[in-house]
């Protein structure tokens, strides 16, 4: 303040004058730029686009209202639910390894490999009700259309924020159904526990969208639910154990029970063994079994004979010492799936990764497992095909092939190299000398 007071009046006036001159020059340039903008139609359009993009980035969100075109004779009073006014869109609902739930729209299956690979995945549509089931047998139901749409499932929302399932207990299964399935007397819900208890309930007994939890199956102390799925009243069921045993029996042998029941025994488990997976056989398809060391066994579903429920089953595969089964793929030859490693990132496989063999034969390598690592689980998704470049038996001699949505790709016979001329070949005599 003293320095300003001591400053000559002329110097103060010069500073103020310079400030005004700088401001005038800046305004002059702005006026000139705006005049040029008004004269240029192209620049005007670009400016409008930029401003709209800024507004969109700041305020954009999903439409909360639905626009409906009323047909002749319809009134708004007849449109009572969200499903009535929303279009049916195919969606893939998945859960990431840290329990985040998301939805990806479209027919093409999402990426099944890498660190963002989902541990649970389901193909459904926006009009369905999604059921999440945890290991305690508790289930929650939510509408598919409320699940946030994401680019990858790790960008989703934690599952316990969309339903009332406890946060510390991740869901073990997902399935969905609409009113037409709930009203079908031939559709059932099947559950399987780690100790081999199977239960069947009518699909019509399940509640619709609700904020309340319900019991899908009673789970005994020390046991846990490992699988829950929709099925048919009349079908064949295949159940596998971790030690490589498998049993196939008629689904009619399991009578329908209420939701509070625990179920009946599906197979006799040996000491230290436990149930691993259950699949409904629909006919004409194949099974690929995957072990923790990367070994695999591919066979037709008819390789498993139909037996009575609660038997020991048959040997599905012969495992090496210290290894266990981690899961299976079931479907057509282009059926895709994911194997999850203990250390490495998840990898994509397809059912025809190895040639078909007989039940109980020696395993063949499905995936490379490095020393100190192992496969811990296998994910199979109905409707998911191996669309990325992955190894398959049909392309094993040429490295990698690209699978398409067709059931099988016609294999072209390999051209054998013509034999070399005898004059240029080498042969070894019985005495060990080489003759050219």
Give CA separation, 257 vs 199, 243, 262, 265, 373, in Å. 7, 29, 9, 14, 42
Residue 241 lies in a domain: no
Let me know whether 101 and 227 are in one domain: yes
Q: For 62-66, 159-163, 253-257, which range has the lowest pLDDT when averaged over its residues?
A: 62-66
Let me know whether 400 and 308 are in one domain: yes
Let me know whether 199 and 125 are in one domain: yes
Let me know whether 403 and 348 are in one domain: yes
Let me know whether 292 and 364 are in one domain: yes
Q: For 10-24, 278-292, 310-324, which range has the lowest pLDDT when averaged over its residues?
A: 10-24
Say yes or no to pLDDT of 402 above 50. no
Reported confidence tier of residue 360, pLDDT bands at 50, 70, 90: confident
Q: Say what the pLDDT of residue 426 is.
A: 41
Reported as a single tens digit per residue, the pLDDT across 305-338 is 999 999 999 999 999 999 999 999 999 998 989 9
Let me know whether 222 and 110 are in one domain: yes
Say yes or no to pLDDT of 228 above 80. yes
Let me know whether 29 and 156 are in one domain: no
Count: domains in the chain: 3
Reported confidence tier of residue 14, pLDDT bands at 50, 70, 90: confident
Residue 76 lies in a domain: no
Domain boundary, last residue among 14, 38, 57? 57
Reported confidence tier of residue 394, pLDDT bands at 50, 70, 90: very low
Let me know whether 226 and 117 are in one domain: yes
Taking the C-alpha atoms of residue 298 and residue 328, their distance in angstroms, rounded to an integer, is 10
Reported confidence tier of residue 78, pLDDT bands at 50, 70, 90: low
Say yes or no to pLDDT of 142 above 90. yes
- For residues 184 and 412, the model is more confident at 184
Say yes or no to pLDDT of 168 above 50. yes
Q: The domain spanning residue 314 has which CATH number?
A: 2.120.10.90
Taking the C-alpha atoms of residue 333 and residue 286, their distance in angstroms, rounded to an integer, is 7
Reported confidence tier of residue 7, pLDDT bands at 50, 70, 90: confident
What is the span of the domain harbouring residue 118?
Answer: 87-233
The sign of the dihedral angle between the CA atoms of 261, 267, 270, 273 is negative
Let me know whether 342 and 389 are in one domain: yes
Let me know whether 369 and 293 are in one domain: yes
Q: Say what the pLDDT of residue 77 is.
A: 55
The 3-state secondary structure of the chain, one letter per residue = CHHHHHCCHHHHHHHHHHHHHHHHHHHHHHHHHHHHHHHCHHHHHHHHHHHHHHHHHHHCCCCCCCCCCCCCCCCHHHCCCHHHHCCCCEEEEEECCCCEEEEEECCCCCCCCECCCCCEEEEEECCCEEEEEECCCEEEEEEHHHCCECCCHHHCEEHHHCCCCCCCCCEEEEEEECHHHHCCCCEEEEEEECCCEEEEEEHHHCCCCEEEEEECCCCCCCCCEEEEEEEECCCEEEEEECCCEEEEEEHHHCCECCCCCCCEECECCCCCCCEEEEEEECCCCEEEEEECCCEEEEEEHHHCCEECCCECCEECCCCCCCCCEEEEEEECCCEEEEEEECCCCEEEEEHHHCCCCCCCCCCEECCCCCCCCCEEEEEEEEEEECCCEECCHHHHHHCCEECCCCCCCCCCCCCCCCCCCHHHCCEECCCCCEEC
Let me know whether 97 and 52 are in one domain: no
Q: Say what the pLDDT of residue 66 is.
A: 62
Say yes or no to pLDDT of 290 above 70. yes
Rounded to 5 degrees, what angle do the CA atoms 132, 156, 82 make?
Answer: 65
Reported as a single tens digit per residue, the pLDDT across 143-161 is 999 999 999 999 999 999 9
Q: What is the mean pLDDT of the chain?
A: 85
Let me know whether 53 and 98 are in one domain: no
Reported confidence tier of residue 231, pLDDT bands at 50, 70, 90: very high
Mean pLDDT within 248-252: 96
Q: Say what the pLDDT of residue 58 is.
A: 84
Say yes or no to pLDDT of 412 above 70. no
């Amino acid at each position: 303040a003293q320095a300003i007071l001591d400053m000559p009046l002329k110097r103060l006036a010069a500073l103020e004058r310079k400030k005004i001159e700088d401001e005038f020059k800046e305004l002059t340039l702005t006026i000139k730029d705006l005049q040029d903008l008004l004269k240029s139609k192209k620049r005007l359009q670009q400016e409008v686009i930029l401003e709209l993009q800024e507004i969109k980035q700041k305020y954009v969100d999903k439409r909360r209202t639905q626009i409906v075109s009323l047909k002749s004779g319809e009134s708004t009073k007849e449109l009572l639910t969200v499903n009535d006014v929303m279009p049916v869109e195919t969606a893939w609902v998945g859960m990431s390894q840290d329990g985040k739930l998301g939805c990806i729209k479209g027919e093409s299956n999402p990426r099944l490999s890498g660190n963002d690979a989902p541990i649970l995945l389901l193909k459904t549509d926006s009009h369905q009700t999604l059921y999440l089931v945890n290991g305690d047998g508790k289930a929650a139901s939510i509408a598919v259309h409320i699940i946030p749409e994401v680019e990858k499932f790790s960008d989703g929302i934690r599952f316990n924020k969309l339903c009332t399932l406890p946060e510390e207990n991740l869901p073990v299964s997902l399935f969905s159904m609409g009113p037409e399935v709930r009203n079908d007397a031939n559709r059932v819900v099947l559950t399987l526990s780690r100790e081999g208890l199977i239960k069947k309930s009518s699909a019509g007994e399940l509640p619709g969208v609700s904020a309340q939890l319900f019991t899908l199956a009673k789970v005994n102390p020390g046991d846990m639910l490992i699988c829950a799925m929709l099925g048919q009243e009349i079908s064949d069921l295949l159940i596998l154990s971790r030690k490589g045993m498998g049993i196939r029996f008629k689904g009619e042998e399991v009578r329908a029970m209420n939701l509070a029941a625990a179920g009946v025994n599906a197979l006799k488990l040996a000491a230290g063994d436990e149930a691993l997976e259950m699949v409904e056989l629909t006919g004409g398809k194949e099974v690929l079994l995957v072990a923790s060391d990367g070994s695999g066994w591919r066979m037709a579903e008819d390789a498993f004979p139909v037996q009575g429920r609660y038997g020991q089953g048959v040997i599905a595969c012969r495992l090496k010492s210290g290894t266990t089964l981690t899961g299976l793929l079931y479907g057509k030859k282009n059926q895709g799936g994911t194997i999850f490693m203990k250390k490495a990132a998840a990898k994509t496989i397809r059912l025809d990764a190895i040639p078909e063999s007989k039940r109980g034969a020696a395993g063949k390598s499905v995936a490379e497992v490095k020393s100190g690592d192992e496969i811990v689980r296998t994910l199979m998704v109905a409707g998911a095909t191996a669309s990325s470049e992955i190894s398959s038996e049909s392309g094993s001699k040429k490295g990698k092939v690209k699978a398409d949505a067709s059931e099988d790709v016609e294999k072209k016979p390999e051209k054998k190299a013509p034999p070399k001329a005898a004059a240029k070949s080498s042969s070894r005599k019985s005495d060990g000398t080489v003759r050219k």
